[in-house]
Amino acid sequence: MSDPSSRPPVTGPDVPGADDLWRVLVDSLGRDYAGVDHVGPGRLEVIDEDGEIVTIHLTPQQWRSLVISAEHIAVTDSGEDAWGPGDGPSIAYGDLEEQIDSRQDGELHVVLHGGSLHPSVRAELPPVRGAGPLDATLDEDGDWYAVAPDGTDAHP
């Protein structure tokens, strides 16, 4: 394998256009989730496996910028299971899937902030994370504390 530092830097023209990448994104989301709908400029609604609607706030141009950033990672990656040139769209899509699938309770939005995607309880920036699936109980001193659904104690 060649030295990654000897590869030329990735520039925008090395990556497909925004409209082409957007079509691939929408097709991929439609294949991997229960449904996808373009509901307005810079807004896609994805129905996850639980039937919950997640709104992705992203324009085709912003998606292309994320793919270009991911392509930079791909061309400089090295190792046995390394990404390679042309893998930018897969890396960017994998990150989007991770943000959709790792949301906490109440996080019905995925927003672009600081050059990366984040789950959020709101559409506005900056993103705000949800509390997660916690319950509350009383301890022996009569104080409330959080308990995760699996029963693990979140009490300090």
Tell me whether residue 140 is in a domain: no
Average pLDDT in the 33-38 region?
96
- Check residue 42 and give its pLDDT: 95
Tokens of 144: 């409330």
Other beta carbons less than 10 A from residue 136's beta carbon: 9
The β-bridge relationship of strands 53-57 and 109-113 is: parallel
Domain count, the chain: 1
Strand blocks (E) in the chain: 35-40, 43-47, 53-57, 109-113, 116-120, 135-138, 144-147
Alpha carbon 29 to chain centroid distance?
Answer: 12
Residue 154 has pLDDT above 80, yes or no: no
- Pick the range with the lowest mean pLDDT from 38-52, 91-105, 137-151: 137-151
- Quote the domain boundaries for residue 51: 4-131
Average pLDDT in the 96-124 region?
95
Residue 12 has pLDDT above 50, yes or no: yes
The mean predicted confidence, pLDDT, of the chain is 84
As a whole number of angstroms, the distance between CA 85 and CA 64 comes to 15
Residue whose tokens read 């639980």:
50
As a whole number of angstroms, the distance between CA 35 and CA 141 comes to 48
Residue 64 has pLDDT above 60, yes or no: yes
Tell me whether residue 122 is in a domain: yes
Residue 6 has pLDDT above 50, yes or no: no
pTM of structure: 0.77
